[in-house]
A and B are shown apart, each in its own frame.
Chain A
Amino acid sequence: MTTPIIQSSDISKYFGSAIVLNGLDWQIMPGQVIGLLGRNGAGKSTLLECLLGLRELDAGSVRIDGEDVAQLSEATRARIGYVPQKSDLFEWMTPRQMLGYFKALYPRWNNAKVDGLLARWGFDPLMQNKPISKLSGGEQQRLSIIRALAHDPELLVLDEPVSALDPVGRRDFLRELIDGVIERGTTVVFSTHILSDLERVALDLAFLRDGKIALQGRLDDLLEGARRVVGPAALLDKPLAGELRRQRAADGTVSVVTYGGVAPVSSGKDAGVRVEALSLEDLFIEVTQ
């Protein structure tokens, strides 16, 4: 049986009185490509930081490759790539200097990949020697991604990696992610709000709500299994199998979102109950609201 690359058990994190993570259990298996979704402020960045040991947990534990995240060995750290949400990093250095700096700190460094990405992503020699503070937000984000990919990580954690990229930049990034990272069997965990990108890349999705993983599954299964059942309150008064969320409209109709349950199709159209498939955007709204 394969052991998870990331194993988090019952983790909790508070900021003052606010509960950000609330007894969260999450496993990520090697080679898994998982998109983490949640509303603004849901705690996605905090969760990713906790998974990497960058924040102390108030309860629970996280292990990467079986090691406690607070005591990661040199070898394990060398296999992790991380793109933080904030991209204006080491802004007093030039891109060339920053990459040289990190090259000195990692035992493995793929020069060919770095040079290729720099060339493909528009970092001409002039730009490579400009202070990072002078680069645009998108350029800084691309550089941050190059830095994270340069040592061929086996676990790549990306915190909203495309938020500052234009459509061309996003396409380039996704192409690189699919061809250069995912196909190598790298485990990828990334948070984003751009659902169309997720649909292109992520095989698995996890929704974070109320400090817990509210729903997780393969993208296709989620889209296949999620349904919205709408009908009169009298017919939908009992909880449905796999019910995720229930809403009552002003006109008295009830809308129930289910996942994996058997939709009450047998009730038929005559009874005024209709069953709708959900898009990823619908699912995001229904699960995270």
Chain B
Amino acid sequence: MSAGMKTPLNDYWLLWRMALSTRHPRASAIVLALAAVATILVALLVQLKNADPLMTAGFALRVAFGGVMMGWMLYFVPGAVKLNTPFTARLVPRLRRRLIELTALVWLVAVVSGALMTQGTRLSPALVVLGTGTWLAAYGLGQSGNRVGAWVQFAAWMTVVFHEHLPAGLVDALRGGTGFAVAALLMLAFGALALQWMFLNGGERHYAAHEAQILQTERLTVAGQFKERKQHRIGASLYELVLRRDSAARHSGRLLAHLLGARNHWVYRALAMAGVLAVGVVAMGLLHFFGSADLQDMIRNIGWAGAALLMLGALFDCERRNVRLKDTATEQALMRLVPPLPRGAPAFNRQLAGTLLRVGLLEWAMLAATVLCLGLLSGATPANLGLQACLCCLTLPVVAANLRDHAHRAGLLGWRLLCGFVLSVCISFAVGAAAHAVFGLPMLAGAALASIVIAVTLVANGFRRAESAPYAFPAGRLA
């Protein structure tokens, strides 16, 4: 290989590893290893089933490509945006140019591969090229903190969902000829704009955009914990009102809850739920006017169950509170010294546990109310709404996960929370099945009752643990 060719390839390889290492030191090796393992596994399975080397190679190629593309999307793009700071863009030789080249190259390969993969299917290569190209460009734009990217991605998904309602003439025009050429040019222009935005070339504009980029690319810490997001205007105004009210009331318990930060206050949760409901109303409206009869029937019959999946959000809420308690350790040092909080670790921890439980229950209740409202919107029957309420109760034990020995253990519970939740659901269903067999109680109702009992037991245990633990604040100091 000539030296002229070797330098860009070396640069690309270096940048790939650097971009991925912004998320995890060994992310590059992990991504490549996972892609390799998945490829070998799929190839083996396909070969065993069909004994057709050509087909096996085709599948293996698709999986390998898919694995690398996942790495590119989830790790490389945000990492690359992060590498291109206002300082590095201007002062580090070749960096910005190589990042643009590499991103564009992978984008091109993805688009062409997408078109090739349509061979032998009913999909139109032209539409796949346009869809893949536009969506990937929008994804990159979104990852650089530009909201237009997120909106274009949303529009792309909606186009896929409601493709039957697109004007047939327009779709036909895009399949080839002048229509395709014009759309492809527009896609390329959008892609170029996205690249330009993703990799700004320093200066005031870059500094101005950098904050949004950091918010987008650094949502997680290196340890994989959520970072506090920026407040939005409506939320900030409402939060100010509530903070002023709580300060005027001098209620130490309520003031303690503010330690979790504005974004974790119930005001923001209420706003988020209102947003979810608004989206639900719009979606149901669209479905009513444009959805097929079959789709409407399906939503009416099982939409409530889909909405119940939102209750899994309780796990994320719980984790967010745990992470915030770790992140605000210095603030907690000040809170330890403020006069009205109880004296001594047991009393202090009891008050903190009470506050966290109140916050957890309130957020759980808001989530459950939203889910039930979505069920109502979807036209669920009263019986199905009852089932939905039972499903909501299955997540109730999660609220106890914030009642822990914060001094020794802080931050994410991770798989422990997930395993605990799965165990609780299994026990609840086992109890529900037993109650159904013995008393004839509907199984889901029995499971819901069991979950409530589990929640009460866990909360009682959590309070006992908190009372015997060292001072909870500053959290994580004994970890």
Chain A residues at the B interface, C-beta cutoff of 8 Å: 49, 52-56, 70-75, 77-78, 80, 82, 84, 86, 89-90, 92-94, 97, 100-107, 131, 147
CB contacts (< 8 Å) of B248 on chain A: these are 104
B339 and A105 within 8 A (CB)? yes
Report which of A54, A55, A82, A104 forms a contact with B255, defined as CB distance below 8 A. Answer: A104
**Cα separation A243 to B342 with both chains bound (whole Å):** 48
Given the interface contacts A55-B477, A100-B247, does A71 sit within 8 Å of B339 by beta carbon? no
Chain B residues at the A interface, C-beta cutoff of 8 Å: 228, 231, 240, 243-244, 246-250, 252, 255, 258, 261-263, 330-331, 333-334, 336-341, 343-345, 470-471, 474, 477-478
Given the interface contacts A73-B343, A104-B250, does A92 sit within 8 Å of B231 by beta carbon? yes
CB contacts (< 8 Å) of A86 on chain B: these are 330
Question: What are 20 A-B interface contacts by the 8 Å CB criterion?
Answer: A56-B478, A70-B344, A70-B471, A72-B343, A74-B340, A78-B339, A82-B337, A84-B330, A84-B333, A89-B330, A89-B331, A92-B228, A92-B261, A97-B244, A104-B246, A104-B250, A105-B255, A105-B339, A105-B340, A106-B339
B243 and A56 within 8 A (CB)? no
What is the minimal beta-carbon distance from A274 to any residue of chain B, in angstroms? 48
B339 and A90 within 8 A (CB)? no
What is the minimal beta-carbon distance from B77 to any residue of chain A, in angstroms? 26
Determine the residue in chain A with the shortest Cβ distance to B260.
Answer: A92
Determine the residue in chain A with the shortest Cβ distance to B261.
Answer: A92
Determine the residue in chain A with the shortest Cβ distance to B333.
Answer: A54
7 extra interchain contacts, Cβ-Cβ under 8 A, other than A56-B470, A72-B343, A104-B255? A49-B333, A75-B339, A89-B330, A92-B231, A101-B255, A103-B247, A105-B255
CB contacts (< 8 Å) of A89 on chain B: these are 330-331, 334
Q: Which 5 A-B pairs have the closest CB atoms?
A: A104-B247, A105-B338, A92-B262, A78-B339, A74-B339
**Cα separation A60 to B247 with both chains bound (whole Å):** 38
A92 and B331 within 8 A (CB)? no
B252 and A105 within 8 A (CB)? yes
Determine the residue in chain B with the shortest Cβ distance to A81.
Answer: B337
**Cα separation A105 to B262 with both chains bound (whole Å):** 18
What is the minimal beta-carbon distance from B46 to any residue of chain A, in angstroms? 51
What is the minimal beta-carbon distance from A23 to any residue of chain B, in angstroms? 21
A101 and B247 within 8 A (CB)? yes
CB contacts (< 8 Å) of B343 on chain A: these are 71-74
CB contacts (< 8 Å) of A54 on chain B: these are 333, 336, 474, 477
**Cα separation A94 to B337 with both chains bound (whole Å):** 21
What is the minimal beta-carbon distance from B373 to any residue of chain A, in angstroms? 29
A84 and B344 within 8 A (CB)? no
CB contacts (< 8 Å) of A53 on chain B: these are 336
CB contacts (< 8 Å) of B477 on chain A: these are 54-56
CB contacts (< 8 Å) of B249 on chain A: these are 104
B243 and A97 within 8 A (CB)? yes
A107 and B339 within 8 A (CB)? yes
What is the minimal beta-carbon distance from B29 to any residue of chain A, in angstroms? 29
Report which of A78, A84, A105 forms a contact with B250, defined as CB distance below 8 A. Answer: A105
Determine the residue in chain A with the shortest Cβ distance to B330.
Answer: A86
> Which of the listed residues A54, A56, A80 has the most CB atoms from chain B within 10 Å of its own CB?
A54
**Cα separation A175 to B426 with both chains bound (whole Å):** 66
Determine the residue in chain B with the shortest Cβ distance to A74.
Answer: B339
Determine the residue in chain A with the shortest Cβ distance to B335.
Answer: A105
Given the interface contacts A92-B261, A100-B243, does A106 sit within 8 Å of B338 by beta carbon? yes
Report which of A71, A101, A106, A107 forms a contact with B344, defined as CB distance below 8 A. Answer: A71
**Cα separation A52 to B261 with both chains bound (whole Å):** 25
